[in-house]
């Protein structure tokens, strides 16, 4: 399945105009600072944007297939990096991003979210001092996202 360049551009623009302001896991400036963004990050952004109602189902399905292929091919769940953590957190914004079958999708969502949390929490993301200063704001955004997820889960448990 081929995803046209103009479709990808529209989805990326929609992500940064409609979704990123709500949960800024990555900013548009950070994303644009990379001349060739990693496929997992690009497709994750596109997939979450494609979950909107005005995007045709076949586009969403094609991007979901691409994301799952990249996750397996690049061993995203086993390779600790800020890009992988950001991608996994972005994907966890929408349950349908993980599978077309609800039980499988929810299981995959929690596995991917847990993996992202463990990558950050266990300190498996190693940085040089130069990289650290450049990625400090990225790390803070990731932690804010994780804390929000935990807090909302705690509130849901307490309400039930």
Tens of pLDDT along 84-95? 999 999 999 998
The pLDDT of residue 45:
97
Q: How far apart are CA 11 and CA 9, in angstroms?
A: 5
Q: Name the more confident of 133 and 118.
A: 118
Judge contact between 109 and 101, C-beta under 8 A: no
Q: Is 123 left (phi over 0), alpha (psi -120 to 50) or beta?
A: left
Please name which of 86, 109, 110 lies closest in space to residue 99, comparing C-alpha atoms.
Answer: 109
Q: Which of 10-14, 21-25, 117-121, 127-131 has the lowest mean pLDDT?
A: 127-131
- The answer, yes or no, to whether residue 134 has pLDDT greater than 60, is no
The pLDDT of residue 67:
94
CA–chain centroid gap for 15, Å, is: 11
- The answer, yes or no, to whether residue 160 has pLDDT greater than 50, is no
The pLDDT of residue 109:
87
Judge contact between 2 and 8, C-beta under 8 A: no
The pLDDT of residue 155:
54
H or E segment and range at residue 74: none
Please name which of 12, 17, 15, 20 lies closest in space to residue 145, comparing C-alpha atoms.
Answer: 20
Q: In the structure, what pLDDT confidence band is assigned to residue 76 with cuts at 50, 70 and 90?
A: very high
Q: In the structure, what pLDDT confidence band is assigned to residue 72 with cuts at 50, 70 and 90?
A: very high
Q: In the structure, what pLDDT confidence band is assigned to residue 51 with cuts at 50, 70 and 90?
A: very high
Q: In the structure, what pLDDT confidence band is assigned to residue 3 with cuts at 50, 70 and 90?
A: confident
- The answer, yes or no, to whether residue 50 has pLDDT greater than 70, is yes
Degrees, nearest 5: CA angle 41-45-47: 115
- pLDDT tens for each residue of 16-46: 999 998 888 888 988 999 889 999 999 999 9
């Amino acid at each position: 399945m081929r995803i046209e360049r103009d479709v990808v551009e529209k989805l990326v623009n929609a992500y940064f105009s409609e979704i990123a302001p709500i949960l800024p896991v990555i900013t548009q400036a950070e994303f644009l600072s990379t001349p060739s963004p990693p496929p997992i990050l690009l497709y994750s952004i596109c997939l979450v944007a494609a979950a909107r109602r005005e995007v045709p189902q076949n586009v969403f399905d094609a991007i979901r297939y691409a994301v799952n292929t990249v996750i397996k091919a690049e061993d995203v769940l086993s390779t600790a990096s800020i890009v992988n953590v950001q991608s996994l957190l972005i994907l966890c914004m929408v349950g349908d991003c993980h599978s077309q079958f609800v039980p499988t999708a929810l299981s995959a969502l929690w596995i991917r979210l847990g993996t992202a949390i463990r990558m950050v929490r266990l300190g498996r993301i190693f940085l040089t001092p130069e990289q650290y200063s450049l990625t400090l704001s990225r790390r803070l955004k990731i932690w804010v996202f994780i804390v929000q997820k935990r807090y909302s889960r705690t509130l849901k448990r307490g309400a039930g």
